């Protein structure tokens, strides 16, 4: 589904520090004494009510612009896609289970009114929504976030990291010798200044980072970067050629010790700047944030859903990041 471009223009000048779209609300979190809410809040020591409120507001705002209210004109229209996606995002943000997040929302009538739902959906409703949610819609939400933020990507960094696939008990898996060896490889391309994810790609690992590099570089060509920063894993002549000839940028990639040929590889020591290369730490920090705040373990059973779960975490990270920079 395409973005609602007519709405983007209306919201581009919105000042999030003084929102005109949504009034500030506290969802009655402080007054609640229900045990389920305490357990969710205590699970993540970094979680604060004001941060969660800001995250809910921002998520609902982006989803309302990016995707249609209902997936089908002939559905029963009990719950909008805007509300279901926000609940799904809250689940990942609080590192809760489907059952826990439903108990969480049931705490406050204010949050139900905010999401425009009369009653809390069953936890399987959120599960089914996640299964049928197209990955293209997740990417459209991410593109909307980027379009509403002024990104001048002078330095762009690339890297990949693995996300574990596991939903079984560790003890059971060990004694049965059924521990999973595969994982989801999450490849990211980020803007160093804003620390927003510009492009992502997920696949079943193990995979070489070089297989992701050239498609990612062509996707970020529109940002006209000056430097491309990556580690030694990306030290190949085709990647350096793509950076220099297609992007008209300078590659800041350390040279492997065995490098003996290649025009751009042999020329790289003359243009390599260690001070710029140290900016690569930003992408390592982003991977750390995603795994620490949103969990580095995927609990989806199939590879397809695990890929989608990783993509969702990337987009939710961007939403979380905009609450910090705006």
DSSP string, 78-113: SS-HHHHHHHHHHHHHTT--HHHHHHHHHT-HHHHH
* Model pLDDT, residue 296: 87
Q: What was the pLDDT predicted at 131?
A: 95
205 φ, ψ (degrees, to nearest 5): -90, 170
Task: Inform me whether the pLDDT recorded for 113 exceeds 60.
Answer: yes
Q: In angstroms, rounded to a whole number, what is the distance separating the alpha carbons of residues 212 and 215?
A: 6
**pLDDT for the residue numbered 177:** 65
Whose tokens are 């705002």? That residue is 61
Per-residue pLDDT at 124: 96
CA-CA distance, 99 to 163, in Å (whole number)? Answer: 23
Is the bond preceding residue 45 a cis peptide, omega within 30 degrees?
no
Query: Which of 112-116, 212-216, 305-309 bottoms out in mean pLDDT, i.e. has the lowest?
Result: 112-116
Structure tokens at 18: 């003084």
Percentage of the chain lying above the pLDDT 90 cut: 56
Confidence of residue 221 (pLDDT cuts 50, 70, 90): very high
Q: What's residue 127's pLDDT? A: 95
DSSP assignment of 26-78 equals -TTTTT---HHHHHHHHH-TT--HHHHHHHHHHHHHHHHHHS-S-S-TTS--S
pLDDT at 285: 96
The Cα–Cα gap between 174 and 46 comes to: 32
The pLDDT of residue 259 is above 80? no
Ranking 11-15, 110-114, 142-146, 209-213 by mean pLDDT, the lowest is 11-15
What pairs with residue 190 in β-bridges? Answer: 157, 197
Phi then psi for residue 49, to 5 deg, are -60, -40
Mean pLDDT of 18-34: 51
**Residue 163 pairs with which residues in a beta bridge?**
184
Q: What is the pLDDT of residue 22?
A: 44
pLDDT at 168 > cutoff 80: no
* Structural domains present in the chain: 49-133 (no CATH), 150-323 (3.30.420.10)
- Dist. CA 280–CA 156, nearest whole Å: 9
Biggest distance spanned by C-alpha atoms of the chain: 68
Model confidence at 144: pLDDT above 80: yes
Q: How deeply is 36 buried, as exposed, middle or buried, from its count of CB atoms within 10 A (0-12, 13-18, 19+)?
A: middle
Q: How confident is the model at residue 220 (pLDDT cuts 50, 70, 90)?
A: very high
Q: What is the pLDDT of residue 34?
A: 47
Residue 75 burial (C-beta neighbours within 10 Å; 0-12, 13-18, 19+): exposed
Alpha carbon distance 241, 225 (integer Å): 15
Query: For residue 190, what are the contacts with CB-CB under 8 A and spacing of at least 6?
Result: 156, 157, 196, 197, 198, 282, 283, 286
Q: What is the mean pLDDT of residues 210-223?
A: 91
Residue range 203-228: average pLDDT?
89
Q: 129 falls in which pLDDT band (50, 70, 90)? A: very high
User: What SS3 class is residue 202?
Assistant: strand
């Amino acid at each position: 589904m395409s973005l609602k471009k007519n709405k983007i223009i209306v919201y581009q000048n919105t000042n999030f520090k003084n929102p005109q779209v949504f009034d500030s609300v506290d969802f009655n979190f402080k007054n609640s004494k229900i045990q389920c809410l305490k357990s969710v809040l205590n699970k993540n020591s970094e979680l604060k009510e004001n941060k969660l409120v800001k995250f809910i507001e921002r998520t609902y705002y982006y989803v309302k612009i990016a995707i249609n209210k209902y997936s089908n004109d002939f559905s029963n229209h009990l719950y909008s896609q805007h509300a279901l996606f926000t609940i799904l995002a809250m689940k990942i943000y609080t590192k809760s289970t489907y059952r826990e997040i439903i108990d969480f929302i049931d705490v406050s009538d204010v949050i139900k009114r905010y999401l425009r739902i009369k009653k809390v959906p069953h936890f399987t409703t959120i599960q089914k929504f996640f299964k049928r949610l197209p990955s293209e819609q997740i990417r459209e939400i991410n593109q909307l976030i980027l379009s509403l933020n002024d990104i001048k990507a002078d330095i762009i960094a690339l890297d990949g990291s693995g996300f574990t696939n596991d939903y079984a008990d560790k003890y059971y898996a060990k004694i049965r010798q059924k521990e999973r060896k595969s994982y989801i490889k999450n490849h990211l391309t980020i803007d160093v200044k804003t620390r927003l994810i510009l492009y992502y790609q997920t696949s079943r690992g193990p995979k070489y980072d070089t297989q992701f590099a050239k498609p990612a570089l062509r996707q970020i060509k529109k940002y006209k970067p000056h430097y491309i920063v990556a580690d030694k894993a990306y030290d190949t002549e085709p990647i350096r050629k793509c950076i220099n000839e297609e992007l008209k940028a300078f590659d800041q990639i350390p040279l492997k010790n065995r490098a003996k040929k290649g025009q751009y590889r042999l020329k790289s020591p003359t243009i390599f700047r260690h001070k710029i290369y140290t900016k690569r730490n930003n992408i390592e920090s982003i991977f750390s944030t995603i795994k620490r705040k949103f969990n580095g373990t995927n609990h989806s059973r199939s590879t397809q859903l695990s890929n989608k779960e990783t993509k969702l975490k990337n987009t939710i990270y961007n939403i979380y990041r905009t609450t910090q920079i705006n």
